[in-house]
């Protein structure tokens, strides 16, 4: 691999000394940069990559001590080792040099073997320091990135593949000269069926390219076979690496391997390849910290989704239980939830509201569990007492749902879905914006579905008739019963209501929550409360 040569800045006002240093260093594989005074040296340090600085003390203008002080007071370049070359071997000069921040001293006339030995040692120390700094920098950068992931963590929409893509973008080399980053990253993931899938990210060209590859690796070789993750690092000098099946398989994929760091657990494997320098356990630590964080969020997201799914299932189970004596069917609550979501979306409400009303609308009539089946199924006009009992399903509903903060919307819907915008509804005769928005939305969605379905006292209306009744009124249902904004939204969406209704009737599965198996939503036939009793 093309490791670039160490670059040595030689600063001396004597051209002869510069030539001597050049003649000594260039043949030994060093890149020599020359400067003849202090300001020129500082300019080179500011504009070029310098690995070590050999600095003459006695120079006209700015002396070596001052140049050294300026290098060391500059945070960006303070890590460049400075060797002072002095004709004065006395203690006072050495102390001044140490105070200025110099790492080492060489006396003039210098001995070539000594100069080379010191340069080698200082470059080694600098290399170790650079790696430590680089690892600290990477960890700080990735921690900040991880913090953003956690701040924006949304379990419902957490996309693990997307997170891995953005993590790879953080760690992969963005420029060829960034030696501390890998040039290629290979990711392996095991899906739920146990098959492994591999992706290769390559930054060799202008932009990072991502492509699927098929690695023929035994699972035990690619993934950890127990819960503990494996983190390994290899350099090209390792004979073990060269002979390993993993490297053989990578090479078969036309992936060159000079060094690699690999993290793997039982379902995930990340291999970072071809750093521009040798890899160390620090690189493995950096990789480990960021991958662990994403895997943790993945597991958390999956658990939260499971809980959400169970929550939705329970909401629908309760809604279905309450319909045992009602004529509404489980499909009615699914359709109403979907109409509500359509209306909420059209009204520009946040996605969270839209998703919440889609589910929680299911409980709007849960209070009917307290209403006598004789009243729910009665085909004749209700007596005053029966009508009073019927109206109480709103209050019972909100009491059954209770005060849990997750169910606040469902409770408000149950209590307010028969209120009317003009104040003619029940149970409290609220009007306008006194009625919660979710109740105003449900009122229209419920009415649409009730009109579309046949009841023992009325036929099923087609979409056009239903729209006319809602938008123009028929004496029982009047436009002023509805929030004008919700009516406007309905007017915009009415084709989607029609399509949605037809689709659901045909498929019986439209908008069904994930965990509600088909066939479990059917309720018992009975009488519709909305239209019939609204006329009472
Ligand atoms: Fe109701
Ligand atoms: Fe309903």
Please name which ligand lies nearest the alpha carbon of 331. Answer: 2
Question: Separation of 529 CA from ligand 1 center, angstroms?
Answer: 6
Q: How far apart are CA 185 and CA 138, in angstroms?
A: 16
Residue 456 has a pLDDT of: 65
Q: How far apart are CA 26 and CA 14, in angstroms?
A: 18
Question: Separation of 393 CA from ligand 1 center, angstroms?
Answer: 7
Question: Separation of 334 CA from ligand 1 center, angstroms?
Answer: 15
Residue 458 has a pLDDT of: 78
Nearest alpha-carbon partner for 451 in 481, 488, 485: 481
Q: Is 219 helix (H, G, I), strand (E, B) or coil?
A: helix
Residue-wise pLDDT for 152-172, tens only, equals 877 777 788 888 888 888 888
The set of residues, in sequence order, having a beta carbon less than 8 Å from that of 179 and lying 6+ positions away, is 3, 4, 275, 276, 277
Q: Which residue stretches of 258-280 are H helix? A: none
Residue-wise pLDDT for 57-114, tens only, equals 889 889 999 999 999 998 889 989 999 988 877 788 888 888 899 998 888 888 889 8
Residue 531 has a pLDDT of: 36
Residue 526 has a pLDDT of: 28
CA angle 525, 530, 536 (to 5 degrees): 110
Residue-wise pLDDT for 270-315, tens only, equals 899 988 888 888 788 778 777 777 778 778 888 888 888 899 999 9
Residue 327 has a pLDDT of: 62
Nearest alpha-carbon partner for 251 in 215, 294, 279, 223: 215
Instruction: Please name every residue paired with 211 in a beta bridge, in sequence order, or none if there are none.
Output: 200
Question: Separation of 93 CA from ligand 1 center, angstroms?
Answer: 95
The pLDDT-based confidence of 175 (bands split at 50, 70, 90) is: low
pLDDT of 225 > 60? The answer is: yes
Q: Is 185 helix (H, G, I), strand (E, B) or coil?
A: strand
Tell me phi and psi for residue 7, to 5 degrees: -110, 125
Question: Separation of 532 CA from ligand 1 center, angstroms?
Answer: 11
Q: What is the Cα Rg of the chain in Å?
A: 37
Ligand 2 ion: nearby residues, β-carbon < 5 Å:
446
Question: Separation of 333 CA from ligand 2 center, angstroms?
Answer: 7
Nearest alpha-carbon partner for 21 in 44, 62, 52, 66: 52
Q: Which residues of 153-184 are buried (b: 16+ CB within 10 A; e: fewer)?
A: eeeeebebeebbeebbeebbbeeeeeebbbbb
> pTM, whole model, 2 decimals?
0.59
What is the DSSP code (8-state) at residue 458?
B
Question: Separation of 369 CA from ligand 1 center, angstroms?
Answer: 11
Residue 506 has a pLDDT of: 66
Residue-wise pLDDT for 509-523, tens only, equals 433 443 333 333 322
Kindly list the structural domains of the chain, giving each domain's residue range(s) and its CATH number in brackets, ordered by start.
7-129 (3.40.50.2300), 158-302 (3.30.450), 323-534 (1.10.3210.10)
Question: Separation of 310 CA from ligand 2 center, angstroms?
Answer: 23
The pLDDT-based confidence of 337 (bands split at 50, 70, 90) is: very high
* Residue reference for tokens 């202090």: 38
Residue 381 has a pLDDT of: 87
Question: Separation of 340 CA from ligand 1 center, angstroms?
Answer: 15
Question: Separation of 362 CA from ligand 2 center, angstroms?
Answer: 8
Residue-wise pLDDT for 303-316, tens only, equals 888 888 899 999 98
Q: How far apart are CA 520 and CA 428, in angstroms?
A: 35
Question: Separation of 308 CA from ligand 2 center, angstroms?
Answer: 24
Question: Separation of 135 CA from ligand 1 center, angstroms?
Answer: 63
Please name which ligand lies nearest the alpha carbon of 395. Answer: 1
| Range in 381-395, 418-432, 455-469 the model is least confident about | 455-469
Nearest alpha-carbon partner for 117 in 106, 127, 128, 108: 106
Question: Separation of 365 CA from ligand 2 center, angstroms?
Answer: 6
Question: Separation of 392 CA from ligand 1 center, angstroms?
Answer: 10
Question: Separation of 498 CA from ligand 2 center, angstroms?
Answer: 17
CA angle 473, 424, 315 (to 5 degrees): 90
Please name which ligand lies nearest the alpha carbon of 367. Answer: 1
DSSP 235-260: ETT-HHHHH-HHHHHHHHTT---SEE
Residue-wise pLDDT for 226-241, tens only, equals 656 667 777 777 777 7
Question: Separation of 417 CA from ligand 1 center, angstroms?
Answer: 6
Please name which ligand lies nearest the alpha carbon of 368. Answer: 1
Q: Is 47 helix (H, G, I), strand (E, B) or coil?
A: helix
Count the Cβ atoms, other than its own, within 10 Å of residue 59. Answer: 20
Please give the mean pLDDT across all residues of the chain. Answer: 84
* Residue reference for tokens 């489980």: 330
The most confident of 131-140, 256-265, 329-338, 384-393, by mean pLDDT: 384-393
Question: Separation of 391 CA from ligand 1 center, angstroms?
Answer: 8
236 within 8 A of 281, measured Cβ to Cβ: no
Question: Separation of 192 CA from ligand 2 center, angstroms?
Answer: 39
The most confident of 288-292, 320-324, 414-418, by mean pLDDT: 414-418
Percent of the chain with pLDDT over 70: 89
The pLDDT-based confidence of 262 (bands split at 50, 70, 90) is: confident
HEC readout, 363-403: HCCHHHHHCCHHHHCCCCCCCHHHHHHHHCHHHHHHHHHCC
pLDDT of 472 > 90? The answer is: yes
Q: How far apart are CA 227 and CA 234, in angstroms?
A: 23
Question: Separation of 535 CA from ligand 1 center, angstroms?
Answer: 14
104-107 sheet: strands from edge to edge: 31-35, 7-11, 52-56, 82-86, 104-107
pLDDT of 198 > 60? The answer is: yes
Question: Separation of 530 CA from ligand 1 center, angstroms?
Answer: 6
Percent of the chain with pLDDT over 90: 42
Tokens of 207: 């932009």
Q: Is 301 helix (H, G, I), strand (E, B) or coil?
A: helix
The pLDDT-based confidence of 358 (bands split at 50, 70, 90) is: very high
Q: How far apart are CA 535 and CA 334, in angstroms?
A: 25
Residue 152 has a pLDDT of: 81
Higher pLDDT, 332 or 490: 490
Please name which ligand lies nearest the alpha carbon of 396. Answer: 1
Question: Separation of 332 CA from ligand 2 center, angstroms?
Answer: 7
Residue 330 has a pLDDT of: 58
Q: How far apart are CA 260 and CA 82, in angstroms?
A: 33
Question: Separation of 345 CA from ligand 1 center, angstroms?
Answer: 23
Please name which ligand lies nearest the alpha carbon of 534. Answer: 1
Question: Separation of 521 CA from ligand 2 center, angstroms?
Answer: 14
Question: Separation of 385 CA from ligand 1 center, angstroms?
Answer: 17
Ligand 1 ion: nearby residues, β-carbon < 5 Å:
365, 529
Tokens of 520: 């479990």
Q: Is 55 helix (H, G, I), strand (E, B) or coil?
A: strand
Residue 532 has a pLDDT of: 41
Residues 171-200 have a mean pLDDT of 83
């Amino acid at each position: 691999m093309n490791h670039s040569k160490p670059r040595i800045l030689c600063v001396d006002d004597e051209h002869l000394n510069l030539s001597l240093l050049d003649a000594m260093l260039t043949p030994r594989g060093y890149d020599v940069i020359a400067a003849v005074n202090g300001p020129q040296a500082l300019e080179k340090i500011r504009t070029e990559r310098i690995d070590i600085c050999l600095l003459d003390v006695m120079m006209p203008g700015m002396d070596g001590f001052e140049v050294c002080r300026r290098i060391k007071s500059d945070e960006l370049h303070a890590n460049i080792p400075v060797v002072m070359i002095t004709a004065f071997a006395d203690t006072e000069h050495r102390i001044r040099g140490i105070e200025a921040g110099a790492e080492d001293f060489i006396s003039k006339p210098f001995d070539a073997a000594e100069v080379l030995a010191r340069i080698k040692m200082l470059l080694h120390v600098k290399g170790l320091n650079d790696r430590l700094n680089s690892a600290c920098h990477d960890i700080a950068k990735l921690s900040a990135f991880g913090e953003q992931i956690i701040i924006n963590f949304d379990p419902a929409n957490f996309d693990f593949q997307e997170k891995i893509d953005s993590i790879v973008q953080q760690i992969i080399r963005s420029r060829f000269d960034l030696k501390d980053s890998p040039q290629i990253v290979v990711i392996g993931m095991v899906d739920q069926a146990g098959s492994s899938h591999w992706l290769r990210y390559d930054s060799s060209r202008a932009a990072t390219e991502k492509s699927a590859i098929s690695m023929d690796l035994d699972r035990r070789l690619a993934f950890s076979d127990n819960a503990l993750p494996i983190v390994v690092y290899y350099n090209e000098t390792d004979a073990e690496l060269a002979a390993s099946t993993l490297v053989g398989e990578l090479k078969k994929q036309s992936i060159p391997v000079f060094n690699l760091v690999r993290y793997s657990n039982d379902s995930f494997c990340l291999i970072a390849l071809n750093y521009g320098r040798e890899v160390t356990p620090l690189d493995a630590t950096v990789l480990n910290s960021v991958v662990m964080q994403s895997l943790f969020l993945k597991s958390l997201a999956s658990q939260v989704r499971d809980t959400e799914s169970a929550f939705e299932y329970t909401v629908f189970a309760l809604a279905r239980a309450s319909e045992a004596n009602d004529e509404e069917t489980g499909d009615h609550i699914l359709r109403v939830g979907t109409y509500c979501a359509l209306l909420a979306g059209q009204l520009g409400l946040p996605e969270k509201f839209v998703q919440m009303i889609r589910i929680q609308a299911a409980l709007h009539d849960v209070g009917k569990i307290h209403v006598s089946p004789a009243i729910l199924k009665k085909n004749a006009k209700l007596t005053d007492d029966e009508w009073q009992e019927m109206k109480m399903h709103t209050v019972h509903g909100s009491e059954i749902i209770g005060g849990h903060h997750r169910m606040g919307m469902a409770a408000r819907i149950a209590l307010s879905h028969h209120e009317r915008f003009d104040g003619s509804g029940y149970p409290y005769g609220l009007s306008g914006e006194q009625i919660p928005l979710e109740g105003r939305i449900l009122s229209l969605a419920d009415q649409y579905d009730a009109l579309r379905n046949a009841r023992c006292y009325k036929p099923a209306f087609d979409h056009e008739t239903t729209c006319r009744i809602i938008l123009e009124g028929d004496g029982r249902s009047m436009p002023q019963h509805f929030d004008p904004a919700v009516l406007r939204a309905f007017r915009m969406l009415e084709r989607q209501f029609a399509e949605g209704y037809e689709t659901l009737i045909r498929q019986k599965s439209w908008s069904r929550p994930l965990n509600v198996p088909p066939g479990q939503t059917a309720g018992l036939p009975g009488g519709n409360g909305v239209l019939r009793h609204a006329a009472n």
